[in-house]
Structure 1
């Protein structure tokens, strides 16, 4: 997995978290989706993306070559 995919996973988790917060603040439910479930899934995706990003940082051979990998 390259760095671009890891950053995309982080961005998706961030957007899901924002959407879950919006649902929670407005007390809306869209079918089975409510604020609590979307926030939980979004935060889990962010955690997975963060772990993958930290792994990529640790295993990068050269720090200046990290974003090009």
Structure 2
């Protein structure tokens, strides 16, 4: 009843900080704007598969390390 359920949960900010990268640095490697990285970290934007793979490659992790679906409610 009016509960907000995110479509995608992400660990991007944590992984980016572990890699010692700023949003600007990561955005350059991934070929997108810093605003896009910020929007993904804040759950406002769901990245494409290609962008998710580029970010994961840059951070040396899997896409599943970065993003996951919320648990399905039964």
Q: TM-score, normalised by structure 1?
A: 0.29
Larger strand share, 1 or 2: 2
Q: Which has the larger radius of gyration?
A: 1
Larger helix share, 1 or 2: 1
Q: TM-score, normalised by structure 2?
A: 0.28
